[in-house]
Amino acid sequence: TKTLTILGLESSCDDTAAAVVRQPEGARPEILSSVVFGQTELHSAFGGVVPEIAARAHAEKLDICVRDALADSGLALKDMDAVAVTAGPGLIGGVMSGVMCAKGIAAATGLPLVGVNHLAGHALTPRLTDGTAYPYLMLLVSGGHCQYLLVRGPEDFTRLGGTIDDAPGEAFDKTARLLGLPQPGGPAVQAEAESGDPERFRFPRPLLDRPDCNLSFSGLKTALMRMRDQIAAEKGGLTRQDRADLCAGFQAAVVDTLAEKTRRAIRLYLEEQPARPTVAVAGGVAANTAIRTALEIVCAEAGAAFTAPPLRLCTDNAAMIAYAGLERFKSGARDELDLTARPRWPL
């Protein structure tokens, strides 16, 4: 029997990460190490991720991440079966840094190289954490993406619907920016919303009049701006409570929209796969506890199983890249040293 051990690298946005994942044949995969260097402080003064700063920080940190991930796993490069790396989609400078680092390792050691789609990394995470079997319905919600996927295999994804404009994470980040809260906006808005009244401000629930599972989040920003400016015009500024109420109202709109569209995605999924569905959620926004709770309720009502990775595996990490690489490698996929970084790469 063959045990596969994969080193994974991730550098497509503002986290530099390396991890080692191992799977003995016929057994569940295991995360031997997972190192993440966040760049939040580097970008905080700019109100968002600055691609040049991100790329330079990735280039500086990748070697250290790899060294630490190997040390934490108690293994060395010679114990790896392959090196997997995010080859896109993402900020091109960062993706290139990771791809070049992985190529360097592959060239120096002779290890096979496996390029991984970052979105596939998120989408396969429930298999890593819960052993979720194919097929399943994946709601991928992050800072750059929002889609419902029917997942049938490591490279077999059917898009059932998704956002027609902003991703929900983007909406959380913009909301934070408009209210003077720190980036990334998701955790900050969630924390404010906890002491807010979700009923005071009524945000729109876009596209609920349509029967499909497409979503739209760009209208929330416009609504928020209008409400904020109206309060400011009436009272000369926002109080702490105003801000909390705006966050709560905004979050409630995102929660309601995702809940209702998930009901419809389950219906669409059942047309393709008429068996009790498993609904999995992944991506940075899946760290939101209000969203997780709402989806759990929707699934219970629809008779579907629900699974969500632990929070640290919802946001960007390299364990998901190592695991997606492991699945690709197992199915025979290999990349050559001409593997290129792709800023855009739909699943």
Coil, helix or strand at residue 267: helix
C-alpha gyration radius of the chain: 21
Residue 185: CB minimum distance to ligand KG4, A: 5
Interface residue with ligand KG4 among 29, 121, 161, 186 (CB under 6 A) is 186
Chain centre to alpha carbon of residue 317: 9
Residues between 231 and 290 with contacts to ligand KG4, criterion CB under 6 A: 283-285, 287-288
Q: Is 118 annotated as a binding residue?
A: yes
- Please name every residue paired with 37 in a beta bridge, in sequence order, or none if there are none: 16
Residue 81 sits in the site that holds ligand KG4 (CB under 6 A): no
- What CA–CA distance (Å, rounded) separates 280 from 127? 10
Task: Give yes or no for a contact between 30 and 22, defined as CB atoms under 8 angstroms apart.
Answer: yes
Residue 283: CB minimum distance to ligand KG4, A: 5
Residue 93 sits in the site that holds ligand KG4 (CB under 6 A): no
- Of 126 and 143, nearer to ligand KG4 (C-beta) is 143
Interface residue with ligand KG4 among 104, 144, 219, 343 (CB under 6 A) is 144
Q: Which residues bind Zn ion (CB under 5 A)?
A: 142, 316
Coil, helix or strand at residue 278: strand
Q: Which does 185 bind (CB under 5 to 8 A by kind): ligand KG4, Zn ion, none?
A: ligand KG4
Task: Give buried/exposed letters for 62-94 (b at 16+ CB in 10 A, else e).
Answer: beebbeebbeebebeeeebbbbbbbbbbbbbbb
* Structure token digits, residue 250: 């905004």
Q: How far apart are the first and last CA of the chain?
A: 32
Residue 10 sits in the site that holds ligand KG4 (CB under 6 A): no
Interface residue with ligand KG4 among 11, 125, 142, 262 (CB under 6 A) is 142
Alpha-carbon torsion, ordered 311, 317, 323, 325, to 10 deg = 150
Write the DSSP symbol of residue 182: P
Interface residue with ligand KG4 among 121, 161, 169, 249 (CB under 6 A) is 169
Q: Which does 307 bind (CB under 5 to 8 A by kind): Zn ion, ligand KG4, none?
A: none
Residue 118: CB minimum distance to Zn ion, A: 6
Residue 25: CB minimum distance to ligand KG4, A: 30
Q: Which does 246 bind (CB under 5 to 8 A by kind): Zn ion, ligand KG4, none?
A: none
Q: Is 43 annotated as a binding residue?
A: no
- Of 73 and 317, nearer to ligand KG4 (C-beta) is 317
Best CA proximity match to 283, nearest among 186, 175, 194: 186
Q: Is 141 annotated as a binding residue?
A: yes
Residue 216 sits in the site that holds ligand KG4 (CB under 6 A): no
Interface residue with ligand KG4 among 245, 316, 327, 335 (CB under 6 A) is 316
- Of 123 and 266, nearer to ligand KG4 (C-beta) is 123
Task: Give buried/exposed letters for 299-336 (b at 16+ CB in 10 A, else e).
Answer: beebebebbbbeeebbbbbbbbbbbbbbbbbbeebebe
3: CB partners within 8 A, 6+ apart: 22, 23, 24, 25
Q: Which residues bind ligand KG4 (CB under 6 A)?
A: 13, 142-144, 169, 172-173, 184-187, 190, 283-285, 287-288, 315-316
Residues in the annotated binding site for substrate: 140-144, 173, 186, 288
